[in-house]
Amino acid sequence: MELMANGVRYHIEVTGDEKRPVLVLLHGFTGSTATWHPVIEYWQDFRVVAIDLIGHGKTDSPRDAKRYAMERQLEDLESIFRELKLSQFSLLGYSMGGRTALAYAYEYPDRVNKLILESASPGLMLEADRLQRQEVDARSAQEILRFGIEPFVAKWENIPLFDSQTSLPKSVQQQIRQERLAQSAQGLANSLLGMGTGSQRSYWDCLQDLNVPVLLLTGELDSKFCAIAQRMQQLLPNAEHRIISAGHAIHVEKPAEFATMVMERLNQNY
């Protein structure tokens, strides 16, 4: 399905009956709706709405990096949800998609009834850290535009965050690589510039006001995001933090365990 949101054409995959409760999925950087295909089969009791975020997958990649700002992405999502007539839903985001999901849940609190964040953060708390991250992301964006997708993907898949993925079956590693290689150079570069961790506002000071039930999922091999989730749990009024034996991309490394944990949370009544 293709939908226009504020002049940008978005690719959306919808599965399940309209009468079922809705689960919206937001992928991570270099990802797409394809990242969720191995786990969607576990959620057949739900109407699942997976979205290619701006600059990713089959969604448009505008040339203006400012169009990728987190605030603009949230406005686009709200437009999509109105078009799909989604009044309330559960929202699951991974990494970059988790930052986006958290920001959306704060800005549109009446929409989200359950929030699930996989290996996600509220951004960077200190201005100095945000500026430093902006510089790093700007250099990466220049490399992508100058040399193309392949060298960047080769570098990206070898960062320590994804070390645990080297033990995955070769077929799974190849699927992940193909998903990354299918991206647009313009889209990835502008995503880093517009809605990278250093470019978005920090939501750390908003956590105490987020009353929606939150499930924080992290992989035990991903010590950085385990620590972030522990700090988030202390600040959120209604949050649970669960750790799975995996790295950063839990849904890729342990799909059945991840999907089951998500389903358990979705079926809980509050």
Region 71-84: mean pLDDT is: 97
CB crowding 182-212: b at 16 or more within 10 Å, else e: ebbbbbbbbbbbbbbbbbbebbbebbeebeb
Q: What percent of the chain has pLDDT over 70?
A: 100
The continuous run of DSSP H or E covering 257 comes out as helix 255-266
Question: 156 pLDDT band (50/70/90 cuts)?
Answer: confident
Find the radius of gyration of the CA atoms of the chain: 17
Region 174-192: mean pLDDT is: 93
| pLDDT tens sequence across 120-131 | 999 999 999 999
What pLDDT does residue 63 have?
Answer: 96
What pLDDT does residue 69 have?
Answer: 97
| pLDDT tens sequence across 81-108 | 999 999 999 999 999 999 999 999 999 9
What pLDDT does residue 264 have?
Answer: 92
Contact between residue 261 and residue 217 where contact means Cβ atoms under 8 Å apart: yes
Question: 114 pLDDT band (50/70/90 cuts)?
Answer: very high
Region 54-68: mean pLDDT is: 97
In which domain, by residue range, is 186 found?
A: 2-266
Cα–Cα distance for residue pair 9/100, rounded to 1 Å? 18
For the chain, the farthest-separated pair of C-alpha atoms sits apart, in whole angstroms, at 51
Region 30-41: mean pLDDT is: 95
Question: Is the per-residue pLDDT at 157 higher than 90?
Answer: no
Measured torsion, CA atoms of residues 243, 51, 44, 181, in degrees rounded to the nearest 10:
-70
| pLDDT tens sequence across 199-256 | 999 999 999 999 999 999 999 999 999 999 999 999 999 999 999 999 999 999 999 9
Lowest mean pLDDT among 31-40, 45-54, 165-174: 165-174
Contact between residue 27 and residue 56 where contact means Cβ atoms under 8 Å apart: yes
Question: Is the per-residue pLDDT at 270 higher than 60?
Answer: no
What pLDDT does residue 19 have?
Answer: 87
22-26: strand order across its sheet: 2-5, 8-15, 47-51, 22-26, 89-94, 112-118, 214-219, 239-244
Number of structural domains in the chain: 1
What pLDDT does residue 143 have?
Answer: 94
CATH number of the CATH domain containing 175:
3.40.50.1820
Question: 36 pLDDT band (50/70/90 cuts)?
Answer: very high
Residues 6 or more apart whose Cβ sits within 8 Å of residue 212: 105, 109, 112, 113, 114, 115, 238
